[in-house]
Structure 1
Amino acid sequence: MIPLKRRKVTTEQNASHANSAECKFPDVAIFIVERKMGASRKSFLTRLARSKGFLIEESYSSSTTHVVSENNTGDEVEVWIKKQETEGKVSSSSVSLLDISWLTESMARGSPVPIQDRHRLKTSPKPSELTPVIIMKSYACQRRTPLKHHNLFLTEALEVLAENAEFSENEGRSVAFRRSSSVLKALPYIVRTMQDLKGLPCLGDHSLRVIKEILEDGTSSEVESTRQSEQFQAMKALTGVFGVGVRTADRWFREGIRSPLDLIDTGQKLNHAQQAAVSFRLLGVQYYNDLNTPVTKKEAMVISDIVEKAVKAVLPGAIITLTGGFRRGKEVGHDVDFLITHTEEGAEEKLMPKIVNYLENQGLLLYQKTTRNSYLESKDGPARPPSNMDRFERCFSIFRLEQFKVDCDTSVKASLDSSGTTDKNEESYSGSSWRAVRVDLVVSPYSQFAFATLGWTGSKLFERELRRWAGQEKGMSLSSHALYDSKKQCYFRADSEEEIFSHLGLEYIPPSERNA
């Protein structure tokens, strides 16, 4: 007869082979730590996980990718792993140390869920693993801030609070949260403990409390309650209406209005821009949905071709530059901004009416509001305070973008999927051959073009910090029109953004790293 012990091993090997054969996720090899859990609970979880197609290993090995435990600290599990490696001569491998919640959530979903910070077991930093000391400069315009960064789970939370502060017209508080968020975006590592933030600038007490709660609990009660509040949701919806600012939205909220539909139902008096955005007679609710659906980079390129054709038809030799978030490398945006000029100073004067007339004749404009250039350098330049508002000739418009001009292939859908907006885009075209898109056209004299390009590229906080640096550190006044030295009482000319940075005594930062 076969000894009982050998018979048991054979059974376990067969179970292991069966598990491998039925495994749906072969790249995820899970080992469940029995310590503090007990043999019966581990056996139950093993059977349940295998029944759902997960690969559960009988013993810890070099092929293990995920170690799951219950009621253990990360340090305790690390000690246990070191012991297994020493006794079993298992080669060390990179594994994720996870709480049991990751496995239970994965089984409920039917596939491995993305690992979040709350799933990871906390471990004490080793002397060789301590976060490197980062010398972070206090102005965002001194830092390189990439579009994709390591701390999205923290910055999104802070920006919810910043947006809520804007709705309350508390600009100081909003800027404080955004500056904190900007610092986290510039970090070359993931923040895992509060120690990682030591010595960093612009992190106020309120921001630090929120960050600490997220690191410890996985979420912030203040942020979540803000997200779910009726006022926050209503203000987001109402300020999403074209032509509606915070004050108007707040007044509507106090009058009981919660959504654009309520504007129609209650018969609110709307100005021309607001009527264009919510009118059922023109475009119905779909119009509102379009303007709140992100514009893809591919759609922006189609609009760019349309604008270039229109501008050059009325002013040959004109220069057209796509600015805003798309110039910084974003894949989606809420509108499309263009800066227009001509190398011959003065050739751009009275250009906007001609462009608008051309676009209207082509049936491309649903709405437009044009303002004239009111900037006079000799009068306005040095006297004007640093501001993100300029006085260029401009046209705020809503384009009618035909669907057939945008090849809705997998590349467009992929860019939408990355921002979680695929369904919205599909909805915006449903039952219609076109969608509405916000487009801003700005005309600048060539002598101001470098300043205009810098000002209209963003981000909003980066530009704010540039003006603050100019005023507080250099005694200068910077706008999208000019740079004025208050001490020398003279203007600095510039033919490029690089020259402006040089005048300000700053290292040049390319558009792709201005995402503060």
Structure 2
Amino acid sequence: MVPLKRRKVVSTSSATDTDIKATKYPDTVIFILERKMGASRRTFLTRLGRNKGFQVAEQFSEAVTHVVAENNSGDEVQAWLETQTVGRTTSNTVHLLSISWYTESMATGKPESIQEKHKLKVSHTPTPVTPVVSAKSYACQRRTPLKHHNLFLTEPLELLAENAELGENEGRSVAFRRAAAILKTLPRAVKRMEDLQGLPCLGEHSLRVIKEILEYGSSQEVESTRHSEQFQAMKALTGIFGVGVKTADRWFREGLRCPADVTKSEQRLNSSQQAGLLHHEDLSQRVSRAEADAIGQIVERAVQEVLPGAQITLIGGFRRGKETGHDVDFLITHPEEGKEEGLMPKVVQWLEAQDLLLYQKTTMNSYLESKEGPARPAHNMDRFERCFSIFKLERSVLGEAHSSAQATEGEPGGGEGRAPGSEPLPQRRPAGWKAVRVDLVVSPFSQFGFALLGWTGSKLFERELRRWAGREKNMSLSSHALYDNSKSPAVPVSQDICWVTLSLPERPSHVKKRASGTTRENA
């Protein structure tokens, strides 16, 4: 057997103070900035300089006299230098030089005299003082806009959160999402680590990722995760409607990597997974606001045919003001308590008679306030009557505006879309309609405020709201009720309190609403 070759490990931290002193040019101490250069090139240039007798410091210190950078402006290097000298003074004049000075010095074997062409130009305008930004600890206490200034930081953190979810590491996932959520609230883009001083919800791991992105433009951990086979496969497999993390993990261990692999395999699929594969091409596309509005009109008509006077509200991401989503959710109730009982089967029957459902699964209401009280399941899922369905949306109902409203931006997908490397599935439908995920939820009117709050989202916002209610107010909040735990037994609180906790975006005229205000979004 041929022995495996051991990979040669190059140490970049072997230079000691003794090594630096024992050089040809003791008055010239060079630091090579890795930012925008990369670790391997910096290592090569460092070794080259030391072999020629130059002092090339591994870490920046007060002894450094020359900072060499590549593909960086003078202002960028000056900003970096200020972060290294915060809280300390240095008597040295540090020269900020381009890589050309270093390569010329290597060619001659001695430090070249510094000319204008070697200097990095720095604008001598004073650096604006960034005001200290404070933020509340709970996401539900902060106003978070849909569009923010730190997408270059939140996207990598949310990718790591998603990877943790796929690995069933809930704690790590929540930590990354909380860090991303706090960055979304900031009034300006983060440029230095000092901009984050005093902010809550930023753990060591998240700060490490942020610092790497600010210094080098990307994070090695994020990029390796993004391109890993397991992450891409798990994302593609869980993108199939009806497939959870455990099933996707089992399929991955069996060698499946994408929906096309599942189609070719002999896996035993339940009815929802069969429907998910059959309509995967459609379900992996984002749903536009125009499509959500068209489905809302269909649901409105179906509900009014079965129960006149019922109220239908668009919920989920569209209610928060998003222009696209991976599905469409509606909350249904009736002002007369009890009228909503038995409504869902009738609505489903009407939709099926109109040939509008490709798949549906209905669950009954199992919430009993008299027995359950403030207790709720560990996963915080509600117990309402609901229908998980796939609608057959005729493209003709959208009119001419449909083509321009098609959502093509962002990552599509059963939540997140077709993963890189997955093959498109064979088309199994006429071009005249599109399959769309739709969830219908029926709530008693007495629980409508809590249901509306719970189903508006986002997931992190709801989690933080329940955490805040429990820790700060000694209350138990669910999508069914709010209880005062300070009283024994716990006493239910009026649902009117829910209306003041939500800010609502504008919605189509056919959707009934109880309040209005500004848009908010979390994670």
TM-score by length of 1: 0.71
The separation in 2 between residues aligned to 1:250 and 1:451, in whole angstroms, is: 35
Residue 307 (structure 1) aligns with? 299
Residue 249 (structure 1) aligns with? 248
Unaligned runs of 5+ in 2: 1-69, 80-97, 100-119, 419-423, 504-514
- Kindly indicate whether residue 331 of structure 2 is the aligned counterpart of residue 332 of structure 1: no
Which AA in structure 1 matches 2:301? K
Which AA in structure 2 matches 1:354? K
TM-score by length of 2: 0.70
- Kindly indicate whether residue 165 of structure 2 is the aligned counterpart of residue 158 of structure 1: no
Could you report, residue by residue, the CA deviation over 1:222-256 in whole angstroms, capped at 9, with x for unpaired residues?
11111111111111111011111001100110111
- Alpha carbons 1:337, 1:441 under 8 Å: kept: yes
- Kindly indicate whether residue 315 of structure 2 is the aligned counterpart of residue 323 of structure 1: yes
Residue 492 (structure 1) aligns with? 493
- Alpha carbons 2:481, 2:492 under 8 Å: kept: yes
What is the DSSP-based 3-state SS (H/G/I as helix, E as strand, rest coil) of the residue aligned with 1:416? coil
- Alpha carbons 1:149, 1:185 under 8 Å: kept: yes
Residue 380 (structure 1) aligns with? 372
What is the DSSP-based 3-state SS (H/G/I as helix, E as strand, rest coil) of the residue aligned with 1:440? strand
- Kindly indicate whether residue 326 of structure 2 is the aligned counterpart of residue 358 of structure 1: no
Q: CA deviation at 1:482?
A: 0.2
Could you report, residue by residue, the CA deviation over 1:445-489 in whole angstroms, capped at 9, with x for unpaired residues?
000000000000001100000000011111111000000111112
Which is further off, 414-423 or 126-135?
414-423
The separation in 1 between residues aligned to 2:518 and 2:454, in whole angstroms, is: 11
| Change in 2 beyond 3 A, CA 1:451/1:396 | same
Residue 278 (structure 1) aligns with? 277
Residue 48 (structure 1) aligns with? none
Which AA in structure 1 matches 2:228? S
Q: CA deviation at 1:381?
A: 2.7
| Change in 2 beyond 3 A, CA 1:407/1:429 | farther
Residue 6 (structure 2) aligns with? none
Residue 203 (structure 1) aligns with? 202
Q: CA deviation at 1:303?
A: 0.3
| Runs of 4+ with deviation above 4 angstroms | 69-72, 75-78, 121-128, 420-425, 427-431, 499-502, 508-511
The separation in 2 between residues aligned to 1:160 and 1:168, in whole angstroms, is: 12
Q: CA deviation at 1:124?
A: 9.9
- Alpha carbons 1:365, 1:398 under 8 Å: kept: yes
What is the DSSP-based 3-state SS (H/G/I as helix, E as strand, rest coil) of the residue aligned with 1:320? strand
- Alpha carbons 1:144, 1:513 under 8 Å: kept: yes
| Change in 2 beyond 3 A, CA 1:453/1:428 | farther
Residue 478 (structure 1) aligns with? 477
- Alpha carbons 1:403, 1:429 under 8 Å: kept: no
State, as a whole percentage, how many aligned pairs show the same letter. 64
What is the DSSP-based 3-state SS (H/G/I as helix, E as strand, rest coil) of the residue aligned with 1:340? strand
Q: CA deviation at 1:292?
A: 1.2
| Change in 2 beyond 3 A, CA 1:470/1:499 | same
- Alpha carbons 2:134, 2:199 under 8 Å: kept: yes
Q: CA deviation at 1:515?
A: 2.6
Which of 364, 371, 388 is matched with 1:396 structurally?
A: 388
Residue 513 (structure 1) aligns with? 520
- Alpha carbons 2:284, 2:412 under 8 Å: kept: no
What is the DSSP-based 3-state SS (H/G/I as helix, E as strand, rest coil) of the residue aligned with 2:499? helix
Residue 173 (structure 1) aligns with? 172
Which AA in structure 2 matches 1:473? E
The separation in 1 between residues aligned to 2:181 and 2:165, in whole angstroms, is: 17
Q: CA deviation at 1:388?
A: 3.5
Residue 220 (structure 1) aligns with? 219
Alignment of 1:112-123 (within 5 A): none
Which AA in structure 2 matches 1:257? L
Q: CA deviation at 1:323?
A: 0.3
The separation in 2 between residues aligned to 1:395 and 1:125, in whole angstroms, is: 64
The separation in 1 between residues aligned to 2:76 and 2:226, in whole angstroms, is: 35
- Kindly indicate whether residue 404 of structure 2 is the aligned counterpart of residue 413 of structure 1: yes
The separation in 2 between residues aligned to 1:298 and 1:501, in whole angstroms, is: 24
Could you report, residue by residue, the CA deviation over 1:360-412 in whole angstroms, capped at 9, with x for unpaired residues?
00000000000000001111131225753000000000000111112353x75
Which AA in structure 2 matches 1:491? P
- Alpha carbons 2:326, 2:412 under 8 Å: kept: no
Could you report, residue by residue, the CA deviation over 1:35-73 in whole angstroms, capped at 9, with x for unpaired residues?
xxxxxxxxxxxxxxxxxxxxxxxxxxxxxxxxxx96641
- Alpha carbons 1:386, 1:479 under 8 Å: kept: no
Residue 468 (structure 2) aligns with? 469
Could you report, residue by residue, the CA deviation over 1:109-130 in whole angstroms, capped at 9, with x for unpaired residues?
xxxxxxxxxxxx9989977712
Residue 343 (structure 1) aligns with? 335
The separation in 2 between residues aligned to 1:339 and 1:135, in whole angstroms, is: 36
Q: Relative contact order (C-alpha < 8 Å, sep 6+): which is higher?
A: 2
Which AA in structure 2 matches 1:194? M
- Alpha carbons 1:311, 1:355 under 8 Å: kept: yes
- Alpha carbons 1:144, 1:186 under 8 Å: kept: yes
| Change in 2 beyond 3 A, CA 1:130/1:244 | same
The separation in 2 between residues aligned to 1:237 and 1:76, in whole angstroms, is: 41
What is the DSSP-based 3-state SS (H/G/I as helix, E as strand, rest coil) of the residue aligned with 1:135? coil
- Alpha carbons 1:141, 1:514 under 8 Å: kept: no
Which AA in structure 2 matches 1:514? E
What is the DSSP-based 3-state SS (H/G/I as helix, E as strand, rest coil) of the residue aligned with 2:233? helix
Alignment of 1:76-225 (within 5 A): 129-225=128-224
What is the DSSP-based 3-state SS (H/G/I as helix, E as strand, rest coil) of the residue aligned with 2:381? coil
- Alpha carbons 2:139, 2:522 under 8 Å: kept: no
Could you report, residue by residue, the CA deviation over 1:182-226 in whole angstroms, capped at 9, with x for unpaired residues?
000011110011111111100011111111111111111111111
| Change in 2 beyond 3 A, CA 1:414/1:359 | closer
Which AA in structure 1 matches 2:446? S
Q: Provide the aligned C-alpha RMSD in A.
A: 3.1
Q: CA deviation at 1:264?
A: 2.2
Could you report, residue by residue, the CA deviation over 1:92-122 in whole angstroms, capped at 9, with x for unpaired residues?
xxxxxxx99xxxxxxxxxxxxxxxxxxxx99
Unaligned runs of 5+ in 1: 1-68, 79-98, 101-120, 280-286, 503-507
Which AA in structure 1 matches 2:520? E
Residue 282 (structure 2) aligns with? 290
The separation in 1 between residues aligned to 2:147 and 2:428, in whole angstroms, is: 29
Which AA in structure 2 matches 1:512? T
Q: CA deviation at 1:514?
A: 3.2
What is the DSSP-based 3-state SS (H/G/I as helix, E as strand, rest coil) of the residue aligned with 2:407? helix
Residue 59 (structure 2) aligns with? none
Residue 264 (structure 1) aligns with? 263
